[in-house]
Chains A and B, each alone.
Chain A
Amino acid sequence: MGLLSGIFPASEADKRATEVRTGAVAPSRAERQKCWEARDAYFACLDAHGIVDALKDDKAAARACGSESAGFEKDCATQWVTYFKKWRVQDIQKKARLKELEAQGAQKMDVNSDFAPRS
């Protein structure tokens, strides 16, 4: 899209991308999708290098996944980048805890949230 339509629309697209990054506008569905893909690629790289907390081990993460990190930060709002990195740590911890509980013989239960009286 940007390639075909000359210099002006390209800068327009850049402007939009900057706005998305800074959080000035909410991303559209396509922009969200692009961000999630960049995130998944970055997380796959972190997984491959055994890095859990990309915020704490930022140097190791930058060394191992520099290009993926650049893509992630280009396509996602800065706030989202931090949020997703924190989310990943929690998700890994949650999965480990569930595994631990399962090993102890805990049973998974479906939690029902309705308040309707039962007869």
Chain B
Amino acid sequence: MARAAINALPRAVPRQCTRLVSTARSAQAKRPTAPSPTKFQSQPYQPLVQRRFKFKTVEEAKSRYRSGPFSWKAGLLFVLTGAGLVWYFENEKKRMHSKRIAESNKGVGRPKVGGPFELIDQNGNTVTDQDLKGRYSLVYFGFTHCPDICPEELDKMATMFDLVEQQRPGALNPVFVTCDPARDGPKEMKEYLVEFHPKFVGLTGTYDQIKSMCKAYRVYFSTPSEVKPGQDYLVDHSIYFYLMDPEGDFVEALGRQHSPEQAAKVILDHMKEWRGPLKTR
């Protein structure tokens, strides 16, 4: 054991090694001393050829061969670096974790969606954001001339609404807002929505009212600019369901990737977590 450690000493002090080995052998408990001045002096004058034979004895050379390129310094460096890295990553992991918790509690990053509005429903009655409060609201934007996506999504919304109604009757307002106020008046909205669900609330208004509503909900929509009277056109618009809580704050956006069942579950889960007052029928 002691021999192995000694043999593993770096090459810088080969002479000391030899000494140690020889002293240990002869059982002379002498403290290792610096190499003798004569030997030290003679070192620079050693012929180059001799440098190839670093070991004095065969035994020493064999032991050196066995231990390979490893030395206690390399080992120590390896262990220290490893320990350092482990400590650093553990620390960093803890820091990130607590940071994440703090941030989620602060609630930063929740987008500001929604806000006050004043529109008219399919029966010609004025509806404001205050009328929707007290219940959750599921808000969808579209237009009655929509070729494929809106009707599909509205059918989905009807299923979603029925599923929520089964468990929490009257706790959800299903709201459809048109992005095409020029063509979708209360009469058109009424005819359109009754085919999807009799309880759907359809909102329309002037172009400016709809524009500010869409802006508040961060809904993108574009009506073609050069439309002649009587000319048909399509409206490009965002296709998310916006779930708003009973205080009118945005909760979550439900998209095409949610099935009606999944979406209804999401809504019901939010209702379960709601601690404030929630109207029912």
Contact = CB atoms under 8 A, between A and B. Distances in A.
Contact of B104 (A36, A78, A119): A119
A23 B145 contact: yes
A115 B253 contact: yes
B43 interface: no
Q: What's the interface size class on A, roughly?
A: 20 to 34
A110 B231 CA distance: 39
Contact of B145 (A77, A111, A113, A116): A77
Nearest to A30: B195
Contacts of B145: 23, 26-27, 77, 79
A111 B254 CA distance: 11
B124 interface: no
A23 B233 contact: yes
A95 interface: no
Interface string B83-114: 00000000000000000110110010111000
Interface in B34-69: none
Nearest to B250: A115
Given A22-B232, A29-B195, A77-B145, A113 B257 contact: yes
B177 to A, nearest CB: 16
A115 B100 contact: no
Contacts of A29: 151, 195
Given A26-B144, A32-B151, A77-B145, A113 B253 contact: yes
A118 interface: yes
A25 B144 CA distance: 9
Contacts of B100: 119
A87 B232 CA distance: 18
B240 interface: yes
A33 to B, nearest CB: 9
B104 A83 contact: no
B104 A118 contact: yes
B103 A117 contact: yes
A69 B93 CA distance: 63
Contacts of A79: 145, 147, 232-234
A80 to B, nearest CB: 5
B111 A115 contact: yes
A77 B232 CA distance: 8
B255 interface: yes
B104 A117 contact: yes
A114 B101 CA distance: 18
B230 interface: yes
9 pairs of A and B residues whose beta carbons are closest in the complex: A23-B232, A26-B144, A117-B104, A114-B252, A79-B232, A29-B195, A80-B147, A113-B255, A26-B145
Interface of B: 100-101, 103-104, 107, 109-111, 144-145, 147-148, 151, 183-184, 188, 191-192, 195, 230-234, 240, 250-255, 257, 266
